[in-house]
């Protein structure tokens, strides 16, 4: 039974402790199916399956609520290794347990991954058009640089650097926004640390990829463009 932040843990089949996200108070009644339960405790932020609030009952209370009073227990959480298992039970470790609990979220996680991938494509297009337009605007400058003997690779390095800086700044803004917006998201989203570590690397790759069009344009600039009127 999880720790309650106020009240107490349920001790009779008609008592229940509920997640704070449900917005209920101690002493109120909670209608679950055909049964009316009395709230005796509040458990902070206990949710499952993306923000669905949890409620906690005694074993007997759950059996009356969900299994018609049958003496049934689907799973038992223990600390340590069991010497012997009751008939019909099997032991799984923590990892398997988490995977099993996460299984209903697979679709949601997949959907988020697809959206993330699409956003990376959008990022490439946005950074790419920014760098391309910026290159178009400076074609004459590039022509002048080439005409006065600046190697083409220095010009390209400058453009690529610009794209990488834009992508890195955008990634930094993304990190800050993620921190600010995560609580407002309708699901609880955990961003793993390795995502933050991988972000700059992906941003650099995105920046370089995005700058290809601009780089091709800069390579093609004819230094003779520098001659002639303004």
Partner 1 sequence: MGDLSIQDLVVEYSSGGYALRPINGLSLDVQAGSLVILLGPSGCGKTTLLSCLGGILRPKSGAIKFGGVDVTALEGRGLAQYRRDTVGIVFQAFNLVPSLTALENVMVPLRAAGMSRGASRKRAEELLTRVNLAERMRHRPGDLSGGQQQRVAVARAIALEPPLILADEPTAHLDFIQVEEVLRLIRSLAEGERVVVVATHDSRILPMADHVVELVPAQTSENRAPETIRFAAGEVVFEQCTMGDLIYVVSDGEFEIVRELADGGEELVKVAGPGDYFGEIGVLFHMPRSATVRARTDGAVVGYTAQAFRERLGVTGIGDVIAERELASD
| Residue placing its CB nearer to partner 1 in the complex, 138 or 203 | 138
* C-beta closer to partner 1: residue 161 or 224: 224
50: left (phi over 0), alpha (psi -120 to 50) or beta: left
In the complex, what is the shortest distance from the CB of residue 170 to partner 1, in angstroms, rounded to a whole number? 22
**Cβ atoms of residues 154 and 215 within 8 Å:** no
Selected from 147, 170, 205, 213, the binder of partner 1 by CB under 8 A is 147
User: How many angstroms separate the Cα of 139 from the Cα of each of 71, 77, 119, 207?
Assistant: 80, 68, 30, 20
Query: Least distance from C-beta 220 to partner 1, angstroms?
Result: 15
User: Of 26, 50, 112, 150, which lies in the binding site for partner 1, with binding defined by CB under 8 A?
Assistant: 150
Please state, in angstroms and rounded to a whole number, the distance separating the CA atoms of residues 19 and 48: 10
- As measured in angstroms, the least distance from the Cβ of 138 to partner 1 is 8
Q: Which of 151, 169, 172, 198 binds partner 1 (CB under 8 A)?
A: 151
Give 42 or 135: the residue with its C-beta nearer to partner 1: 135
**According to CB under 8 A, which residues from 34 to 63 bind partner 1?**
none
C-alpha to C-alpha distance for 56 and 51, rounded to whole angstroms: 15
- Tokens 């463009």 appear where? 225
| 16 within 8 A of 10, measured Cβ to Cβ | yes
Candidate residues 27, 80, 95, 149; the one interacting with partner 1 per rule CB under 8 A: 149
CA 142-145-147 angle, 5° bins: 110
C-beta closer to partner 1: residue 174 or 223: 223
Inter-residue contact 59 to 12 (CB < 8 Å): no
CB of 226 to partner 1, least distance (A): 5
CB 166 within 8 A of CB 125: no
If one asks whether residue 220 binds partner 1 (CB under 8 A), the answer comes out as: no
User: Footprint of partner 1 on residues 86-145 (CB under 8 A)?
Assistant: 140-141, 144-145
Residues in contact with partner 1 by CB under 8 A are 140-141, 144-152, 154, 223-224, 226-230
């Amino acid at each position: 039974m999880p720790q309650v932040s106020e009240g107490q843990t349920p001790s009779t089949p008609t008592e229940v402790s509920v997640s704070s996200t449900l917005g209920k108070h101690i002493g109120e009644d909670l209608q679950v199916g055909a049964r009316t339960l009395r709230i005796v405790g509040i458990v902070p932020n206990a949710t499952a399956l993306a923000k669905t609030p949890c409620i906690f009952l005694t074993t007997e209370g759950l059996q009356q609520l969900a299994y018609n009073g049958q003496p049934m227990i689907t799973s038992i959480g223990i600390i340590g290794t069991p010497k012997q298992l009751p008939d019909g039970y099997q032991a799984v470790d923590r990892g398997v347990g988490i995977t099993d609990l996460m299984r209903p979220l697979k679709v949601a996680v997949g959907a988020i991954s697809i959206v993330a991938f699409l956003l990376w494509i959008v990022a490439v297009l946005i950074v790419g058009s920014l760098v391309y337009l910026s290159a178009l605007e400076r074609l004459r400058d590039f022509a002048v640089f080439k005409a006065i003997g600046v190697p083409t690779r220095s010009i390209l390095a400058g453009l690529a650097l610009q794209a990488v800086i834009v992508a890195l700044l955008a990634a930094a803004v993304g990190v800050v926004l993620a921190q600010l917006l995560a609580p407002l998201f309708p699901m609880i989203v955990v961003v793993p640390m390795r995502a933050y570590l991988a972000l700059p690397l992906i941003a650099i790759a995105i920046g370089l990829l995005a700058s290809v069009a601009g780089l091709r344009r800069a390579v093609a600039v004819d230094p003779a463009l520098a001659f002639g009127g303004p």
